[in-house]
Amino acid sequence: MRICLFPGTFDPITMGHVDIIDRAMPLFDKLVVGIGRNAQKKPLFSEEDRLRWILECFKDNPKVSAVTYEGLTVNCCKTHGAQFILRGIRYVSDFEYEKAIADMNRSIEPDIETVFLTCSPRYTSVASTLVRDVYRNGGNVRQFLPYAVINDLYKS
């Protein structure tokens, strides 16, 4: 069974993330979305909300699950039997950064392979950081987010 971990903070999950997951589905038997706890990042949204949003987005897809984890991504892979790490690439600068991480992960755990997918052109500018900034400043971020997130953020 080909199991893949898609790690990130998903603060919040965006349409770019959903696109990467949807496009990765034919490649893997199971995809685990891993919400990593990063001591250097202060998330805007709670871990519980982020986990709930991901589960809601993929509630009709039994191949997708979501977990939270702390520590090394390769250790999370081992915990969940993942042989692959999925990473989305928007720009060339993303690749340089992600390759360095992939090289480190491979040095630590040679049996875990990192797979890069470039994002669809319409989502190139969609980054959680930018979405959070627009949202914090009262802007409309509906076009960048899946319904599960929109439903919570724009309750009336």
User: Which residues are catalytically annotated?
Assistant: 17, 41, 90, 128
Output the six-digit token pair for 123.
């989502």
Indicate the SS3 state at residue 4: strand
Burial grade of 31 (CB within 10 A; 0-12, 13-18, 19 or more): buried
| CB proximity list for 102: less than 8 A, separation 6 or greater | 85, 87, 114, 116
Is the distance from CB of 141 to CB of 131 less than 8 angstroms?
Answer: yes
52-85: b (≥16 Cβ within 10 Å) or e: bbbebbbeeeeebbbbebeeebbebbeebebbbb
